[in-house]
Amino acid sequence: MPYINVKITDEGVSKEQKQAIIKGCTQLMVDVLDKNPATTFVVIDEVNTDNWGIGFDQVTELRNQALNSGTK
Amino acid sequence: MPYINVKITDEGVSKEQKQAIIKGCTQLMVDVLDKNPATTFVVIDEVNTDNWGIGFDQVTELRNQALNSGTK
Amino acid sequence: MPYINVKITDEGVSKEQKQAIIKGCTQLMVDVLDKNPATTFVVIDEVNTDNWGIGFDQVTELRNQALNSGTK
Amino acid sequence: MPYINVKITDEGVSKEQKQAIIKGCTQLMVDVLDKNPATTFVVIDEVNTDNWGIGFDQVTELRNQALNSGTK
Amino acid sequence: MPYINVKITDEGVSKEQKQAIIKGCTQLMVDVLDKNPATTFVVIDEVNTDNWGIGFDQVTELRNQALNSGTK
Amino acid sequence: MPYINVKITDEGVSKEQKQAIIKGCTQLMVDVLDKNPATTFVVIDEVNTDNWGIGFDQVTELRNQALNSGTK
């Protein structure tokens, strides 16, 4: 009965990408721990880039400063 | 000083239902653990059905597939 | 398919009290939101009193300072 | 590599205030635990006042009842 | 910069299984969302079976009642 | 009524360091958002280094590989 919470920035994640995350996390629980998918929950939280900080800065600013950086 | 986080899908939960959840969780902490309600927090997160997965699938799809199923 | 996370201090909570919390939270989801208990999770986290702060202080200190206070 | 999650009510928190929270939490990890800011995350969740309860009541009601109270 | 929190019961999960969960979740973020693994965190919480409830019951009891059931 | 959850690795954090984290986070809520410290909670979770992954690897391994690296 795993519960998996995925927090990501809200930068245009599509319904199909969310489905792929759900499928992938659930399959991982089946493959690694032999868990029952029927009682495996995956919850995705999309966080505004103003509300996520890394290295002292808001992701909004990191995106503005370095659109092509490897920080995603 | 309990902290209770309730995650549910965002399917039209009313203000009155939220109040009932808050009252019920707080009362449970008083009844079972003799906690002080003044320092008992209840936080409700409403999650889009695209962002909640169970048994490999998005709740959005489960709702479409089986509107009358017992899975809520 | 609610997920409820209850965070409390680790001050001798018994197995029976944990069971009562699980039953109470689950029943609340059934009563208020008509949720299916078979897909309702309750997870209890017990937190050391050194690791919980309120009003600037560790609960450990609050307990030492005021054993009979109403803060629980 | 700390992860800090700040949950607050969604009562007009500005982008500058969010930045101040991110900087302050990150600096605290550097000062107290000598952590690397480049791998320190701060995530701020803003919660609707209907969805936050304290002392049996929704914060929405507490705000209505006592606009000048010290409860923030 | 995803943050993934995996909550599972503490039933003898090996270090190798934890590594597999970390690798799998991180790879999923790379494959689906093109995220940078260097800023992808995975945190696994192992929860005592007394502290996890599903369908009104503690997992401890579910394990006792039905050692061979499909509920994991 | 903020709730702040600090997740760090369990690498010998002292009671005094925990107290400093609690004080610092609470003061930040007072300074930035004018919150009431009496209803500000700080909860610290200490996570085993086997259970924390970054960049595909367990922190345990990162510590073994690079004891003097800047990754903390």
Q: What is the pLDDT of residue E57?
A: 97
Q: What is the pLDDT of residue A1?
A: 84
pLDDT of F26 above 80 = yes
Q: What is the pLDDT of residue C31?
A: 98
pLDDT of E48 above 90 = yes
- Average pLDDT of E32-40? 97
- Average pLDDT of C2-12? 97
pLDDT of A72 above 60 = no
pLDDT of F70 above 70 = no
User: In order of start, what are the domains of chain C with their CATH numbers?
Assistant: 3-65 (3.30.429.10)
Q: Residue A21 and residue A15: Cα distance in Å, rounded?
A: 10
Q: What is the pLDDT of residue E1?
A: 84
Q: Which residues of A touch D38 (CB under 8 A)?
A: 54-55
Give the position of tokens 């000048």: D68
Q: Is the ipTM of this complex over 0.90?
A: yes
Q: What is the pLDDT of residue B71?
A: 56
Q: Which residues of C touch E55 (CB under 8 A)?
A: 26, 37-38, 40
Copy the structure tokens of residue C52. 């919980």
Ramachandran region, residue E55 (left: φ > 0; alpha: ψ -120 to 50; beta: rest): left
For residues A35 and E7, the answer to whether their CB atoms sit within 8 Å is no
In this structure, the number of other CB atoms found within 10 A of the CB of residue E16 comes to 10
Residues 6+ apart with CB under 8 A from A52: A9, A58, A59, D41, D42, D43, D44, E1
Under the banding of pLDDT at 50, 70 and 90, the label for residue E66 is confident
State the nearest Cα–Cα gap between E52 and chain F, in angstroms. Answer: 18
pLDDT of F35 above 80 = yes
Active site residue C2: yes
C21 or E69, which is more confident: C21
Q: What is the pLDDT of residue D1?
A: 84
F67 or B5, which is more confident: B5
One-letter amino acid for residue E64 of the chain = N
- Average pLDDT of C48-65? 96
Q: Which residues of B touch D50 (CB under 8 A)?
A: 15, 18
Ramachandran region, residue F12 (left: φ > 0; alpha: ψ -120 to 50; beta: rest): left
Copy the structure tokens of residue D45. 């969740």
Contact yes or no for A52 and D41 at CB 8 A = yes
Answer positive or negative: Cα dihedral of F13, F18, F19, F24.
Answer: positive
Task: Please give the torsion angle defined by the CA atoms of residues A34, A36, A39 and A42, in that order, rounded to the nearest 10 degrees.
Answer: 50
Average pLDDT, chain F: 94
The subunits that touch chain A, with at least 3 C-beta pairs less than 8 Å apart, are B, C, D, E
For residue B53, CA distances in Å to A13, A21, B48, C54, D67 come to 15, 9, 10, 35, 40
pLDDT in tens, B7-51: 999 999 999 999 999 999 999 999 999 999 999 999 999 999 999
Ramachandran region, residue F42 (left: φ > 0; alpha: ψ -120 to 50; beta: rest): beta
Under the banding of pLDDT at 50, 70 and 90, the label for residue F69 is low
Under the banding of pLDDT at 50, 70 and 90, the label for residue F1 is confident
Q: What is the pLDDT of residue B1?
A: 84
Collect the ranges in chain D with pLDDT lower than 50.
none
Contact yes or no for A56 and D23 at CB 8 A = yes
pLDDT in tens, A6-65: 999 999 999 999 999 999 999 999 999 999 999 999 999 999 999 999 999 999 999 998
Q: Residue E43 and residue E29: Cα distance in Å, rounded?
A: 14
Q: Residue A27 and residue A64: Cα distance in Å, rounded?
A: 36
In this structure, the number of other CB atoms found within 10 A of the CB of residue A64 comes to 11
Q: What is the pLDDT of residue A47?
A: 98
Under the banding of pLDDT at 50, 70 and 90, the label for residue C69 is low
pLDDT of F23 above 90 = yes
- Separate counts of helices (H) and strands (E) for chain E: 2, 4
* F/A touch flag: 3 or more CB pairs below 8 Å: no
For residues D9 and D52, the answer to whether their CB atoms sit within 8 Å is yes
Under the banding of pLDDT at 50, 70 and 90, the label for residue E70 is low
Catalytic residue from among F2, F6, F8, F42: F2
How many Cβ contacts (< 8 angstroms) between chains A and B?
49
SS3 F9: strand
